[in-house]
Structure 1
Amino acid sequence: MVTDTGGIDDKSFNASAWAGLQAAKTQASNVDPKYVASSAEADYEPNLRTFVTQKCNFTLAVGGLMIDATKKIASENASAQFGIVDGVVAGQSNVYPMQFATDEAAFLAGYLAAGYSKSKKVATFGGMKLPTVAIFMDGFVDGVAYYNKQKNANVQVLGWDKAKQAGSFTDDFASPAKGKALANTLVAQGADVILPVAGGTGLGAAEVAQGSGGKVSIVWVDQDGCKSAAQYCDVFLTTVVKNITDAVEKAVVAGATGQPLAATPGYLGTLENNGVSLAPYNNFDSKIDATLKTEVDTLKADIVSGKVKVESTNAPK
């Protein structure tokens, strides 16, 4: 596995993928997982090539930023099997894509945040302006808008304008300091629930929430925050789970047992197949109104059935 620049211990994206490889090891005796961390985008190609040179059977690229590098290395090594999280490498039959409709789960989080907020201002920010980041923000904004429509309310979202596709970004997935600075700005503007879509950078927002005396809470992403970043569990309202771990585990086990990994259609995680979800409310379970919990459950069923449409220009194609 080649990590994105957030590193193996980002408590989020890369960590989820690595957990999938570790899980695959317990399911297939011939799985021997290794990883190399990328410090910068310039590392992607040499890191991918390292595993080809080692004749690895399956090389996983973690993140849409690696599409170009993966395409180059995969095209040069047509007999090798690759996989990529959050991307599709067009024209390469030897690259298995794993994508996620995170807007569906983020829609639920937006509705929950709107219903839970006392200040009636919630916020989101991203690590970098990428489709795989903005899709969370799109779903979150639409979930808040749906709450406002259903309740004739006026909860505001700071940090993201879906129509303009413009908002707040730290341009970093591994800087808690930048996340803390941006979160402080959003809190100063009145936000009391924040969704950071920024890997390790988002831990800075969790730190701000911990210092707020219970006034600010965080919606984490990718892995259930109470498991991946347990020291901040007391501020995690919930997590928009992107089940990278299961997707990677299944792909690796399939490959290890001789099953073909088809580039088309690949894998798409949705609410329906549990590829995306909301994590348990953990420490907030008793703090969230029972009616709001029921409404979120109903909304999930309505999204799965198609009664409620979730749409994002950043959704996997």
Structure 2
Amino acid sequence: MLAGCASAPSDTAASGSAGAGENCARMVTNSGGLDDRSFNQSSWAGLQKAEKDDGIQARVLVSTTENDLAPNVAQAVDSGCGFVLTVGYELAPATEEQAKANPDIDFAIVDETVEAPNVKPILFDTAQASYLAGYLAAGVSKTGKVATFGGGNQPPVTLFMDGFADGVDAYNAAHGTSVQLLGWSKEAQDGSFTGDFEDVNKGKQLAQALIDQGADVIMPVAGQVGEGAASAALATGDVDVIWVDNDGYDTLPAEYRPIVLTSVIKDTEKAVQQIAVSSTDGSFSNDPYVGTLDNGGVDLAPFHDLASSVSPELSAELDTLRDQIASGAVTVTSPSQP
């Protein structure tokens, strides 16, 4: 299934040679689809910006099941475009296979590493920004319990959770508090998972279970499933959500704005645009891009409607921590770091 930038899905837009070559790009989503309020959506926004600003014709092939993945990557290659972007670990095998078979095409893959001379990994050290999110969550919690859960126990997911856990610990150490983290143990590298990135009801059920245990700030790391956590938080009242990947205040339905405390942002859009352009100007390399606090690849979103719940003192602590992590004075570690 292929969608153009502003038109309905169209197979004919992908076939043929119109726009093919160095000035066109194809993207393949994972099985979560395009409008996942997560990395598929952000990656596509980057290619759309490359089309608008840099004249790179962009099209996307949308995968809705695992059976779509390999055929969609093959179709992207057959388009004749010089740049193919794939999103997520599910697409690693097909990306590796096609990259080896097509050494003259530049590939990039989001949130996964594929080792090949023509594949650029696009990675984000989200533990750094999630550390700030954990510190913030502990600082605003009224119940003394905060939580996180994931869609699956995979490095791009648990990287967020590790940083969040360390941030909660850092707040406790700085303030002599004992805020408890539910849903994840960094030491055990295990916790609460829905086993799914698409079923919103699973997210709602798991979030409700965490709320029932006393959590009043929850960070779901589960793509669309996280919307279920927002639903549970809104229905319960006095529970806030920290979104991930992009600013949930903007990407979630407007009804959830009152409960979005902040978001752990990956600037996938900017990274994708820059790498797509590099494929056209000859500067493309397979050196991994790693987004950090220092280079602006990750950060916390504004507090938006909940700004009044974050004291000036806590906000200042977060600013100091951000600078310390960016400079290397404070080190955030995780076995899942890129």
CA distance in 2, matches of 1:34, 1:144: 41
**3-state SS in 1 of match to 2:128:** helix
Structure 2: which amino acid aligns with 1:227? D
Q: Structure 1 runs of 4+ off > 3 angstroms?
A: none
Q: In the TM superposition, what is the alpha-carbon distance from 1:36 to its structure 2 partner?
A: 1.3
Output the amino acid matched with 1:234: P
2:249 aligned residue:
226
- The structure whose RCO (Cα within 8 Å, separation 6+) is larger is 1
Alpha-carbon distance in 2 for matches of 1:223, 1:302: 23
**Does residue 96 of structure 1 match 2:120?**
yes
CA distance in 1 between counterparts of 2:157 and 2:243 reads 13
2:108 alignment partner in structure 1: 83
Letter in structure 2 aligned against 1:172 = D
Q: Could you give the per-residue CA deviations for residues 52-99 of structure 1, whole angstroms, max 9, x where no partner exists?
A: 111121110101232222111111111111110112211x11111111
Task: Provide the residue aligned with 2:294 in structure 1.
Answer: 272
Q: What is the total number of aligned residue pairs between the two structures?
A: 311
Which of the residues 252, 262, 265 maps onto 2:276? 252
Q: 1:223 is matched by which residue type in structure 2? A: N
CA deviation vs aligned residue, 1:252-305 (integer Å, no higher than 9, x gap)? 12223x2231112x2110000110000011011122111111111111111112
CA distance in 1, matches of 2:54, 2:329: 40
Partner of 2:320, secondary structure, is: helix
Residue 61 of structure 1 corresponds to 86
State how 1:1-317 maps to structure 2 within 5 Å. Answer: 1-29=27-55, 31-90=56-115, 92-213=116-237, 215-231=238-254, 232-256=256-280, 258-264=281-287, 266-316=288-338
Task: Assess if the C-alpha contact under 8 Å between 1:45 and 1:73 holds in 2.
Answer: no
Measure, in 1, the Cα distance between the counterparts of 2:158 and 2:53.
Answer: 34
- Shift in Å, 1:146: 0.5
Could you tell me which amino acid in structure 2 is paired with residue 72 of structure 1?
E
Checking the alignment, whether the CA contact within 8 Å between 1:2 and 1:47 is kept in structure 2 is yes
Q: Which secondary structure does the structure 1 equivalent of 2:244 belong to?
A: strand
TM-score, with structure 1 as normaliser: 0.96
Stretches of structure 2 that go unaligned for 5 or more consecutive residues are 1-26
1:112-140 alpha-carbon deviations (Å, 9 max, x no partner): 00000000100000011110000000000
Q: Do the aligned partners of 2:31 and 2:69 also contact (CA within 8 Å) in 1?
A: no
Q: Is the 8 A contact 2:61 2:76 kept in 1?
A: no
* 3-state SS, counterpart of residue 93 of structure 1: coil
Q: Secondary structure of the residue that 1:246 maps to in structure 2?
A: helix
User: Within 1, Cα distance between the matches of 2:70 and 2:106?
Assistant: 16
How far does residue 230 in structure 1 lie from its aligned partner after superposition? 4.3
Alpha-carbon separation, structure 2, partners of 1:309 and 1:269: 15
* Letter aligned with residue 184 of structure 1: Q
Distance 1:42 1:70 in 2: 14
Q: TM-score, normalised by structure 2?
A: 0.90
Counterpart Cα distance in 2 of 1:40 and 1:138: 29
Identity value in percent: 46
User: Structure 1 residues 67, 195: CA separation in 2 closer, same or farther (over 3 Å shift)?
Assistant: same
| Aligned residues: CA RMSD | 1.0
Distance 1:259 1:233 in 2: 42
